Structure 1
C-alpha cells in the first residue's frame, strides 16, 4: 500500500516536472502579455487520471514562482490551472465520447482569468488580453494537447501506467 502511494506521488511529480520544464523552455512566450504556454497542452492529462490534477497545479505553481509576474500569477494563475484540471477530470473521466471537451476548461478559464489578470498587470485592454490568452490556449490545448491525448490513448503502455496508479 505504501509503495502505491509513492508511485502515485511519483506520477504527479513527473507531470509537474514536465510542465515546469516546458514552461521554462518556452519562457519568452510563457510569461508575456500575449501568453501562450505550450505546457498547457498537459492539461488534457486529467482525462486519463486524477493524479494529473496535483501534478499540473504544482508544476504551474513552481513555474509561476520562477516566472516573474509576481504574486498575482503565483496565486491566480496556479489556481486557474488547478480549477481547469479539476473540471477537465470531472467533464471527461470515464466518458470517452466527451474527450473533445478535455481541452475546453483550460481554454475558457485561462482566457477569462489569466486574460483579466494580465490586463491589470500590464494595463492592457481587457478583451484584447482575454482574446490573446484564449488564442494561445487553443493552440496549446487543442492544437498540441488534443493530439497528445489521442497519442496517449493509443499507447497501451501509457494507458496501463495511468490505470495502474489511478
Structure 2
C-alpha cells in the first residue's frame, strides 16, 4: 500500500487522471450519452498491469464526468461503474476476460442511470452502453494490451514500481 504514495506514483496518477479527463472532454461528442465510444476507456486496462493505476483511472473518470450532461449523477454513478470495473480488472488473470468487466459494469450502472435520468428502457440503455464499452475496451484495447504485455520493456515501464 505504501508504494501507492511515492512521488513517482502520485505523478503517474495525476498524469493518468488528467489524460483521461481531458481526452474524454475533447472527444465529448462521442464520450457522453446512451451510445458512447469513450476512447479513454481503453486506459482501464492499465489496472490489469498494475492495481496502482486504479486511483488515477477513477479520478480521471470523475474529472471527465464533470462535463457530463447528467452532472452529479454521472459523477457519482459513472465513476462508481469505473471503480468497480478497474477493481475487477486488477483481480482477473486473463486479459480477454478482464476486458469484459467494463462492458458489464458500465452497461448495468450507466444503463440504470440513463433509465432514471431520461426514462428510456433499461435493456436498450444497457445494450448501447455495453456496445460502446465492448468496442473500445475489448475490440481495440485487447489487441493493444496484448501487444504491450508481449513487450517486457514496455510492461516494466508501465508498472508502478
TM-score (norm 2): 0.90
How many residues are aligned here?
A: 159
Deviation at 1:89, TM superposition (A): 0.1
Tell me: CA distance 1:75–1:85, structure 2 relative to 1, closer, same or farther (3 Å). Answer: same
Counterpart-to-counterpart distance in 1, 2:10 and 2:143: 26
Greater CA drift, 27-36 or 123-132? 27-36
Q: 1:102 aligns with which of 90, 98, 114?
A: 98
Deviation at 1:43, TM superposition (A): 1.2
Deviation at 1:74, TM superposition (A): 0.5
Aligned-partner SS, 2:47: helix
Q: Which residue of 1 aligns with 2:120?
A: 124
Deviation string 1:104-144 (CA, Å, 9 cap, x unpaired) is 11110001111111122111111101000011110111112
Q: Indicate conservation of the 8 Å contact 1:15/1:56, yes or no.
A: yes
Deviation at 1:155, TM superposition (A): 3.1
**For structure 1, which runs of at least 5 residues remain unmatched after alignment?**
93-97
| RMSD of aligned residue pairs (Cα, Å) | 1.8
Q: Indicate conservation of the 8 Å contact 1:43/1:145, yes or no.
A: no
Q: Which residue of 2 aligns with 1:70?
A: 71
Matches within 5 A, 1:12-161: 12-92=13-93, 98-161=94-157
